[in-house]
Structure 1
């Protein structure tokens, strides 16, 4: 309609004006830096709508106006949002299913593996996400997994489209810095922590081809625009987060072999930094949940024909299972990796036989939980780029609330943005981290959910939300005793807990 067209023209003028004034402000702030950056600004709001021009998109990376970044970003995102109705057609933001061209690389049951893709034409940034979902390590628990969680072992019932959330969202208000990247989601159907290279045969009931699936997806994407890519971020959560640590160097080496050495490959590992510690209560290795992590991986790596990075394999020859644990494989990785890890990861506590809902937590369990946080902090202290909130949770980067969690006043998207800036600056031989842009963020407070921005906890029985004090009391936390141990008044301790100090 004419009215809608007029609204769009007005909005376009406003966006252009705002962005140009931002660019002028940036030149004043930074002494006229980057005329090319300013010339790209007006294209930002239009990259969403299927524009097929080849201009490189601008992913809301307003580093030049960092002194007034928050308000500037808010205005831009609000205006970009208001432009959505101006599209002649409904925005198609979903990722679409593609099966691999190489049909010999399959899911566990022999069905073809594949990936979901949402192209962002004009963008040279690619985000490839590895799904998580535990694993199985022998015929018995793989058979059980096939009966109860078939989509994690077969592509037979995958839907044709998938909607991206969190860092896979195409909406700038949900995903400030990566909304305009080419988005790829690889479903997990190999049950091998993305490590296997074994086909299904008459002798093998299942295929375990996780490492090969990743490589085949990358090869397929080269014909869909990745050949012109500049940055490839290999991300993943849970088993997918461990998969990032196992495969990020291999992806970079594959691209070099295929003649694309200029694509910068980086890793983002979410909730995949597990510890091989002793369980709180030792149990027999019967299934995935009860089996100690070390024992499960030892059995799994043989069953899957698991492949680990060459540098890590040489460092742990004869005990390659070590490479599935973040603090052991990380020092051998050559490409930059950002680690996101809850200090009190629910999956870690589960395999350690600490179950927080139901019966009140005993004092020994409480000490074990606090020690877990301490151990995790120690393994992360030399990781330059990481985000570790003191929360009881598991996975975050594809959650809708991923932008709300903060550590020391910095959000996860902001920390990732600082990391990207540091990599960009380092490529210009500047070793100093960006000023006022932190990317090594770890909570110091010692209890689960002592950070007030942690995601909401729900009582598993009633479904009701719990605040920090209710949660700690539910776990059998003795405020008086803890206050005595800390040498403080109980009411002061309660105040600190409720404020997250």
Structure 2
């Protein structure tokens, strides 16, 4: 989960210049020199077939050449992938002084920080990493995934990649490692009943220590900031498993049952508005499509339509062997169901790919939906929020229904019906040989029947194969 925090601006000039920071998707010195060498902005270059537009808002300039130059620089910076940007410094590890907030093994919780002066925007990245829901699953997790339960071996520094270079190198960065195994919701006091001390130890709510540790010292107490979020690969469905199994571990346990057990074990806290909507069934608030309508702050959803973690808990295990027809139909149905739950989300990026986690991938800037990359979509979303904030500056909070600015598409979701039908999907490798697989090889490997699929799509098999070969 990625959170963007911003303190309010008191003057119009600050409001106008605020989007500059958030729009620096791939800023850096080299990019600035490139702009100075060119008299006119170059066209946007695509890695995948299909042009991605980058409109310049001349109406917003109103004679202010500085704003126009900012737009030109922003266009040039968008031509470069995030991986090309070198952050000025590594993020440094800081442990919390509040000893009541610890990891599962009792070691101190902490965060990585990249300091910055002059920016009133913050980038907070909450690491993910699944969960455990009883002493048995937690002890198993401690043996196999100790890094996600202890801070004892955290490196002193880490380099910002993916989400931490998403917005401005000038903004302060906070990377918050996940070591509580409670989906960032636990409030159960620490005990020593387990030999691994594998219990939830977050006695203070996440927001409380974020506010006390990060925000309060940098933002005036009387100010009211704005929060917006980016949810990556956390839009799970409480659907029926392909094959029911007893809830013996976190992999085989159905999502609904696992959350029900977990929320009791963690003493899980959910947003008050969602709790009121699901009194007595607060577990519903752990599923994106149920909690989303209750949120007041804008959230951008980045989600693979065929999420590997979702398939795993649904007992669809892609082990390298061809799958059965029933499994193939289940996978297709999963994509359809997920699309339906996203229909009312105004800002999303949902490629029809088989994968898990998006913004932490090295190639996250290469994925396209309708010819538009995720950095570009986030840039448009940020502009739309700022545009709406500037126009409605007297309102107390931002709304989900922020309209996109001219030339921006925010509801980006693939319509093709099977995994990896999007040609920009991440490369697939055969799990047995390690060799790269083409889309056709992958689909056939999964049991894809060209004749049946062509019939379903109302076209000739040769035409379907041609479309797949051409990446359409």
TM-score range, shorter chain: 0.7 to 0.9
Call closer, same or farther: CA 1:307–1:223 in 2, change over 3 Å: closer
Q: Which residue of 2 aligns with 1:217?
A: 210
Residue 92 (structure 1) shift: 4.8
1:323 equivalent in alignment to 2:285: yes
Q: Runs of at least 4 residues of structure 1 off by over 6 A?
A: 10-13, 19-22
Q: Which residue of 2 aligns with 1:468?
A: 439
Call closer, same or farther: CA 1:31–1:403 in 2, change over 3 Å: closer
1:33 pairs, out of 52, 56, 62, with 62
Call closer, same or farther: CA 1:30–1:357 in 2, change over 3 Å: same
Whole-angstrom CA distance in 2 between matches of 1:436 and 1:32? 16
Residue 337 (structure 1) shift: 0.5
Summarize deviations over 1:19-58 as a string: whole Å, max 9, x none.
9987xxx99944843738449x6xxxxxxxxxxxxxxxxx
Whole-angstrom CA distance in 2 between matches of 1:306 and 1:500? 45
Secondary structure of the corresponding residue to residue 133 of structure 1: coil
1:388 equivalent in alignment to 2:350: yes
1:184 equivalent in alignment to 2:174: yes
Summarize deviations over 1:308-363 as a string: whole Å, max 9, x none.
11111111111110000001000111111000100000000000011123321111
1:260 equivalent in alignment to 2:223: yes
More helix by share: 1
Matches within 5 A, 1:431-442: 432-442=403-413
**What is the RMSD computed on CA atoms of the aligned residues?**
2.9
Q: Which residue of 2 aligns with 1:73?
A: 77
Instruction: Compare 424-433 and 340-349 and name the one that shifted more.
Output: 424-433
2:387 pairs, out of 415, 425, 433, with 425
Whole-angstrom CA distance in 1 between matches of 2:36 and 2:175? 36
Summarize deviations over 1:278-321 as a string: whole Å, max 9, x none.
00000010000000000000000000110011111111111110
Summarize deviations over 1:213-240 as a string: whole Å, max 9, x none.
4531342123664x27xxxxxxxxxxxx
Task: Tell whether the 8 Å contact from 1:388 to 1:443 is kept in structure 2 after alignment.
Answer: yes
Whole-angstrom CA distance in 2 between matches of 1:215 and 1:333? 18
Indicate the structure whose relative CO is greater, using CA pairs within 8 Å and at least 6 residues apart.
Answer: 2
Q: Unpaired segments of 5 or more residues in structure 2? A: 1-28, 42-54, 393-401
Q: Which residue of 2 aligns with 1:137?
A: 133
Summarize deviations over 1:433-484 as a string: whole Å, max 9, x none.
2111111110000010000111111111211111111101111212123223
Whole-angstrom CA distance in 2 between matches of 1:452 and 1:185? 32
Normalized against structure 2, the TM-score is what?
0.81
2:110 pairs, out of 107, 114, 119, with 114
Secondary structure of the corresponding residue to residue 269 of structure 2: coil
Secondary structure of the corresponding residue to residue 462 of structure 1: coil
Residue 121 (structure 1) shift: 2.1
Q: Which residue of 2 aligns with 1:239?
A: none
Residue 103 (structure 1) shift: 1.3
Whole-angstrom CA distance in 1 between matches of 2:35 and 2:240? 59
Q: Which residue of 2 aligns with 1:208?
A: 200
* Number of equivalenced pairs: 417
1:497 equivalent in alignment to 2:460: no
Whole-angstrom CA distance in 1 between matches of 2:58 and 2:255? 52
Whole-angstrom CA distance in 1 between matches of 2:31 and 2:365? 27
Residue 386 (structure 1) shift: 0.6
Residue 398 (structure 1) shift: 1.9
Secondary structure of the corresponding residue to residue 279 of structure 2: coil
Whole-angstrom CA distance in 2 between matches of 1:153 and 1:281? 30
Whole-angstrom CA distance in 2 between matches of 1:27 and 1:136? 48
Secondary structure of the corresponding residue to residue 374 of structure 1: helix
Instruction: Compare 95-104 and 216-225 and name the one that shifted more.
Output: 216-225
Q: Unpaired segments of 5 or more residues in structure 1? A: 1-9, 42-61, 85-90, 170-174, 229-257
Secondary structure of the corresponding residue to residue 289 of structure 1: coil
Residue 269 (structure 1) shift: 0.3
Q: Which residue of 2 aligns with 1:241?
A: none
Whole-angstrom CA distance in 1 between matches of 2:188 and 2:37? 55
Call closer, same or farther: CA 1:358–1:432 in 2, change over 3 Å: closer
Secondary structure of the corresponding residue to residue 227 of structure 2: strand
Q: Which residue of 2 aligns with 1:337?
A: 299
Secondary structure of the corresponding residue to residue 129 of structure 1: strand
Residue 488 (structure 1) shift: 2.0
Task: Tell whether the 8 Å contact from 1:29 to 1:65 is kept in structure 2 after alignment.
Answer: no
1:282 equivalent in alignment to 2:252: no
2:183 pairs, out of 168, 193, 198, with 193
Residue 138 (structure 1) shift: 0.5
Matches within 5 A, 1:5-404: 17=36, 29-30=58-59, 32-33=61-62, 35=64, 37-38=66-67, 62=70, 64-65=71-72, 70=75, 72-73=76-77, 92-169=88-165, 175=166, 177-203=167-193, 205-209=197-201, 212-213=205-206, 215-222=208-215, 225=218, 227=219, 259-261=222-224, 263-404=225-366
Whole-angstrom CA distance in 2 between matches of 1:332 and 1:28? 33
Normalized against structure 1, the TM-score is what?
0.77
Residue 368 (structure 1) shift: 0.7
Task: Tell whether the 8 Å contact from 1:272 to 1:326 is kept in structure 2 after alignment.
Answer: yes
Task: Tell whether the 8 Å contact from 1:293 to 1:351 is kept in structure 2 after alignment.
Answer: yes
